[in-house]
Amino acid sequence: MFKHLFKLIWNKRKQNFLFLSEILVSFLVIFAVFSFLTYYYQNYSKPLGFEYKKVWSINYDNGLLTKNNDSLAIFYDNLYKSLKAMPQIEEVSYTGGNFPYSNSNMSTGVNFHGKKFDHVNNYMVGNDYKKVLDVNLIEGRWFLPEDAVTKNKYVIINETLKKEMFGKETAVGKLIGNYDDKEKMKIVGVVQDLKANGDFWPAGNAMFNQLDTGYLKYNSYILVKVRESADATFESELYKFMANTMKNSIEIEHMDEMRDSKNEVTIIPMVIFIIIASFLIINVALGLFGVLWYNINKRKGEIGLRRAIGASGNAVSYQLVMEAMILATMSLIVGSFFAVQFPLLNVFNIPASVYVIAILLSILFIYLLVFACSLYPGKQAAGIHPAVALHEE
């Protein structure tokens, strides 16, 4: 049966060539779309790792502050106390510029037993950062104020980095080297991943450092967790207070709005991409449908003859659908050959599972598409009356 179908296909290779290339290109487009979607979905389904609602960020210009470390420490300590004393504010923490949903990134490398881990997000965090963002600890503990004076610097790492570095072993208490492996840092805790770049992006490797007095002169962000009672009136009071304290420019942003705009940057291009891809696919589907329909009308004689020698209507329509499916399979083999290179070569550093799922989904999609497009023409062929068809011939 299959041998016969292949012979039929081979006899019309010239006509089928365009059909094949069309399916091939559609497969590649669909593969790209599904890769994106799978990647985003995999990330989306992971927990966020922190709480963003009711958190505001205050960005201040530190240009006019003194650069003296001791007076700065006193200044910031007083500022912390004044903010904490406001009834609408629950928690306050200083933070480096790369807090979640900000557009800032800071990364470094770390070493462990001679192995280097690059692109580790490096967060500078105050002691109350955990309370402000409600970060979940998995192992160990969070920073304590007295940690600032220890011999080895204390750090906290995230789950992903822990898994890469230690696998199933415990991480707390281990010493790791900094970017050039000169200084040692001691891990005191492991936290759940924080998806800091929005819902659709992975957390990546991350390391948290305690924000000490030496860093204060570079610092220009405060995160505050506010209570339900905090409204716009309070915000403008807070703004005035900060502007008076800093004598320089201030900006207050709400983390939930920052999250929305961060997600939008991913969603809008994705929606445009999906719209374009679906138009392309509708276009291709109509084209396939048209070509199949035409081909079957042209083969009336052959089909009529088959019916006349006893083939049932179902058998005829099965044959035509199978022919289309075999053609699709040929294209898919070529397409999969290209697509498989992505996980094999580890393109864009995306987990192989994303590509594998995307390939499977695309194959399924193309089969469904071809099946749907050949179903009606196949059924029409089954309805051909042998006497009429042969008379025409």
Partner 1 sequence: MLKNYFKIAIAVLKRRKFFTFISLFGISFTLTILMVATAFMDKVISPDYPDYKRERSLYVATMEFKNTKEGWLNRSDVSYYFFDHYVSTLKTIEKMAISTNAKASNAYVNNKKIVIKYKYTNADYWNVLEYKFLEGKPFGQQEINNAEKVAVISEETKTAYFGDAKTVVGQYISADNVNYRVIGVVENVSETLYNFAGDMYLPYTVSKENYKRPELMGGYNAVLLAKSKADVPKMQKEFDQMMKRVPIPKDFDKVYSNADSFFASMTRRIAGDGTNNGLTVVVSILSVFVLLFLLLPTINLVNINITRILERSSEIGVRKAFGASSKTLVYQFIVENLILTFLGGFIGLLFSFLAIYLINDANLISNMRLSMNFMVLFYSLIACICFGLISGVYPAWRMSKLNIVKALKAQ
By the rule CB under 8 A, 160 interacts with partner 1: no
Q: Which ranges of 299-351 would DSSP assign to H, the alpha helix?
A: 300-308, 313-345
Nearer residue to partner 1 within complex by CB, 74 or 276? 276
Residues 6+ apart with CB under 8 A from 112: 165, 174, 176, 177
Strand 153-158, strand 184-191: pairing: parallel
14 Ramachandran zone, left/alpha/beta (phi>0; psi -120 to 50):
alpha
Should residue 233 be labelled a site residue for partner 1 when binding is judged by CB under 8 A?
Answer: yes
Binding part of the chain for partner 1, among 5-13, 65-73, 236-244, 366-374 by CB under 8 A, reads: 236-244
Q: Exactly one of 1, 232, 309, 345 binds partner 1 (CB under 8 A); which one?
A: 232
**Residue 287 C-beta: closest distance to partner 1, Å:** 4
β-bridge mates for residue 206, sequence order: 121
* H/E segment holding residue 56: strand 55-60
Residues in region 247-266 near partner 1 by CB under 8 A: 247-252
> In the range 274-303, which residues lie near partner 1 by CB under 8 A?
276, 279-280, 282-284, 286-287, 289-291, 293-295
Copy the structure tokens of residue 383. Answer: 């309805």
Minimal distance, residue 333 CB to partner 1, in Å? 19
Toward partner 1, which CB reaches closer, 59 or 213?
A: 59
Contact status: 348 vs partner 1 (CB under 8 A): no
d(CA 307, CA 319): 12
Candidates 138-146, 156-164, 166-174, 245-253; binding stretch for partner 1 (CB under 8 A): 245-253
Nearest Cα neighbor of 316 from 242, 385, 241, 393 is: 385
Q: Is 231 in the site for partner 1 (CB under 8 A)?
A: yes
Handedness of CA 358, 359, 363, 369 (dihedral sign): positive
Binding mask 54-93 for partner 1 (x = CB under 8 A): -------x-xx-----------------------------
Torsion of CA 319, 323, 325, 329, to 10 degrees: 140
Of 5, 8, 12, 29, the residue at the interface with partner 1 (CB under 8 A) is 29
Q: Which residues within the stretch 8-27 sit at the binding site for partner 1 (CB under 8 A)?
A: 15, 18-19, 21-22, 25-26
In this structure, which amino acid lies at residue 364? L
Site residues (CB under 8 A) for partner 1, limited to 124-143: none
* Nearest residue to 129 via CA among 259, 223, 251: 223
Residue 189 or 304 having the CB closest to partner 1: 304
* Residue 31 contacts partner 1 per CB under 8 A: no
Buried b (16+ CB within 10 A) or exposed e, 303-340: bbebbeeebeeeebbebbbebbbbbbebbbeebbeebe
268 lies in the binding site for partner 1 (CB under 8 A): yes
Q: Using CB under 8 A, list all residues that contact partner 1.
A: 15, 18-19, 21-22, 25-26, 29, 61, 63-64, 231-233, 235-236, 239-240, 243-244, 247-252, 268, 276, 279-280, 282-284, 286-287, 289-291, 293-295
